[in-house]
Amino acid sequence: MKLRALTISNYASIGEPGLTIPIDDIVVLIGPNNSGKSSVINAYEAFASTGSVLPLHSFRDEDTSKTISIGGVFTDLTDEDRQTLGAKWEYDHPKYGKAVSVKWEWTAPDQKAQKYSWDDAEEKWISGGMGGWDTLITSRIPVPLRVRPTDDPEETEKQIVQILTAAAKAALKKDAKKAESVLKELQTLADEFAKDAQKELDDACVRISAKLDDIFPGHKVSLQQSVGKIDPDKIIASGSHVRIEEPGKAPVPLSHQGAGMRRTFLWSALGTLAEMGRMKHGSKKINAERQRMLLIEEPEAFLHPPMIRSARDALYDLAEIAEWQVLTCTHSPIFIDVSKPHTTIMRVEKKTTGEPNVFSTEDVGFTDDDRTQLRMIRSCHPTVSEFFFADHVFLVEGETEQAVFNYALAVRPPAGGVWCQVVNCMGKANLSLFARILNHFGTSYTIVHDADAPMSLRKTEWVKNGMWTVNKNISNVLAERDGELPACGLVAHIPDFEGFYFHEKLADDKPYHAIKMLNSEEFQKTEQYELLMSFADRVLNGKHPASYSEYDDLVARIKAWRDEKSPNPVEAWEVEKHE
């Protein structure tokens, strides 16, 4: 049995109708500050506690009339699971297939929750419900291991030391004879030290008694010291600490390292120790085969940009291990990698009504070539995943368009506070790939591309231009979009971006020359400059002159432009040969 989704309502900043969180190998929560990302992580811990008491501040607006509900959907039931639970509780979930569902409800602070099981035949939640559930659920919920940005590094180090020294303590206890000999010698030394120390203690007590006698006559102070039996556990743990050694430098205590090093060491150590079967949750050791859920907030905190990318790779690698899953919230697009399988991106917003935007790499159905292309783009543009954070995305072919439109957005941001992001897709052929991602995520976007001539001259023969075929692919991907999602747009510059706005071919280093043109007083007096500066508003309002609705509309516009402009050579624009 496997946890597949988490449902949350009326918990902390999450109200009604609540959220459904898909549980994947790695789930990345994004969204503005105070939008509820940390509440999701806290809710998972509450769910994993199987109904333990919650404080008042866990209730939505601290209003106890709003019942907290946190539930789970479980799939992949075995025959043994069915026998334990009872076959009647399994049903056909509309999204996840064969499943069972359970939830806990808290009606008052500082009280345990009531468990409910979903009875599909009765179409209602039944109090209690499944037999044998409590034991089974405890073993099936991934154990939460929490890492917070505000974790106290000293307390964290104590926990790590405790875990690291566990093996040494166990080894000492195994070799009883050797341990007995060592401890006997230590005990003799300790007893001799105690005799010498007692003289100092007696002298101190006499002095204290003299001062105490002034207030409480006749009272005396004494201290009978005792070294007691020497405990090998305390010998090993006392004074133990983690040291980090940089190349060519002496080892330095972890507590003296920067915050970034401490945080990275922490969750790296958690992963390693859990793999070794030495990780604890509370006072209980976690079985090495038990499923674990790393809950980590803002993994980018305190890290240098190159280290953020390394940390991202480490987290995704951890999520690929069979017994590990990761639930994280981040403000960094670098931590999003859509080329990885079994990855879910979820955008949490306070103003969201209904289900939030969710993107799953499995739902899109990327091919191996798609994943390779996405990794290459991410390597060249590490912040390309910013489109997951935007309200509206402009997908453009290259760096010139990106530079110009970013300039325009800075000069004249769109009305209404719409946060627009310009994404360089590194080529026209990649526009459809990014559009497919945004289709699944539900973000509105506009594809901005060159029309490109339908025909190209190869030696002495005019042949169909492959880039024109991409135009049809672009139209098709927009047509695939769910009609209930926000509308998207298409903009095709005829004949191309430079010709449409600048009426000339730009020299080498096109982004530089384009920005230079935008800063020239002469160009700023033209209609084309005004068209560029108002680009976002015109597109969002459906009033840009290069906007089109579908492939046939683009073909008609090409024909009209050709007839008006009589481009040379006209053979390049014979779009009829593509029909």
The predicted structure's pLDDT at residue 367: 83
Interval 125-137 mean pLDDT: 76
Query: What is the pLDDT at residue 278?
Result: 47
**pLDDT, position 353:** 47
- Tell whether domain 390-578 is in CATH 3.40.720: no
229 pLDDT more than 80:
no
Q: Rounded to an integer, what distance in angstroms lies between the CA atom of residue 495 and that of residue 277?
A: 63
CATH topology of domain 2-142+291-335: Rossmann fold (3.40.50)
Q: Is the peptide bond before 333 cis (omega within 30 degrees of 0)?
A: no
Pair 371, 405: CB distance under 8 Å: no
Share the mean pLDDT of the chain.
81
Query: Per mean pLDDT, which of 94-103, 126-135, 183-192 is the most reliable?
Result: 94-103
The domains spanning 2-142+291-335 and 390-578 adopt the same CATH topology: yes
Q: What is the mean pLDDT of residues 213-232?
A: 55
Residue reference for tokens 């992580």: 41
Element containing residue 423 per DSSP (H, E) = strand 420-424
Asked if 308 contacts 337 with a C-beta cutoff of 8 angstroms, the reply is no
Most confident of 17-21, 151-155, 556-560: 556-560
DSSP character at residue 147: E
Three-state DSSP at 263 gives helix
Q: How confident is the model at residue 393 (pLDDT cuts 50, 70, 90)?
A: very high
CA 444 to CA 420: how far, in whole Å? 10
Can you give the pLDDT at residue 232?
53
Instruction: Report whether 434 contacts 387 (CB < 8 A).
Output: yes
Calculate ∠ Cα 345-391-447, nearest 5°.
95
> Is the bond into 569 cis (omega within 30 degrees of 0)?
yes
Residue ranges of domains in the chain: 2-142+291-335, 153-259, 390-578
pLDDT in tens, 230-279: 555 555 455 556 667 677 777 777 667 776 666 666 656 655 655 555 44
The average pLDDT across 1-20 equals 89
Residue with structure tokens 């000999």?
Answer: 181
Q: Is the CB of residue 6 less than 8 Å from the CB of residue 12?
A: no
pLDDT digit string (tens) for 16-54?
Answer: 888 889 899 999 998 888 778 889 999 999 999 988 999
pLDDT of residue 555: 93
Query: Considering only CA atoms, which of 1, 18, 308, 124 is closest in space to residue 9?
Result: 18
- Give me the percent of the chain exceeding a pLDDT of 70: 75
Distance CA(296)–CA(326), nearest Å, equals 8
- Lowest average pLDDT, out of 2-11, 238-247, 507-516, 536-545, goes to 238-247
Dist. CA 190–CA 194, nearest whole Å? 6
Residue with tokens 């969002």: 540
Q: What is the helix (H) or strand (E) element at residue 104, kind and residue range?
A: strand 97-106
| 3-class SS of residue 2 | strand
How many Cβ atoms from other residues are within 10 Å of residue 140's Cβ?
Answer: 18
